Each structure stands twice: as structure tokens, then as C-alpha cells.
Amino acid sequence: FATTNASANTGTINFNGKITSATCTIEPEVNGNRTSTIDLGQAAISGHGTVVDFKLKPAPGSNDCLAKTNARIDWSGSMNSLGFNNTAS
């Protein structure tokens, strides 16, 4: 048997990104509070997690965003048989 490190998963996911073309800054909002972390909790394999409602809103001072009629947001990451791979350091 080989020894491996184990670590607990906190269930915290940070979303990072940028908006291009008509550049403006967006910030996540959860339960009416601006935050830098959207906590999706934990779900069992082949199960469903708790629904977490969040909004991506223009940051204060990004009023140019409000004049736009649409936006595109892409999600990406490496996948395995369980979904998105976790990364740790």
C-alpha cells in the first residue's frame, strides 16, 4: 500500500474571470451580499447538492455595463467521471 495525502473539501468555489469587448467589472452577490466566494456546499456522488442562488452584478462604478442588452459567460474546467476536477495546492 502506498501512503497518500488526504484533505477535506470545504465546498468553496471561487469564480475568477474577465469581461472583454465592452469591459466592465462584475461581482458575485449571494443572499443580497456582495462576496468574492460562492459556496456550493457538498454533494454525494451521483447525488444533487443544495441549490445556491447567486447573481453576477456590475461592480459599483461600472455603469457602462447597464447600457448593454446581453452578456456571455462561459464556464470551463477539466472534467473527470465525477464532474469538474478539484485542484489543491
Dist CA 24 CA 61 (whole Å): 9
Dist CA 13 CA 37 (whole Å): 6
User: Is residue 74 a part of any domain in this protein?
Assistant: no
Tell me the residue range of the domain where 53 lies: 8-66
User: Is residue 73 a part of any domain in this protein?
Assistant: no
Buried b (16+ CB within 10 A) or exposed e, 23-59: ebebebeeeeeeeeebeeeeeeeeeeeeeeeeeeebe
User: Is residue 54 a part of any domain in this protein?
Assistant: yes
Provide the whole-model pTM: 0.50
User: Is residue 62 a part of any domain in this protein?
Assistant: yes
User: Is residue 81 a part of any domain in this protein?
Assistant: no
Name the domain count of the chain: 1
User: Is residue 80 a part of any domain in this protein?
Assistant: no
Does residue 48 register a pLDDT over 50? yes
Model confidence over 51-85: pLDDT tens digits? 888 888 888 887 777 777 777 766 666 667 766 66
User: Is residue 36 a part of any domain in this protein?
Assistant: yes
Of the two residues 88 and 44, the one the predictor is more confident about is 44
CA 16 to chain centre: 7
Of the CA atoms within 13 Å of residue 14, those in its CB half-sphere come to 5
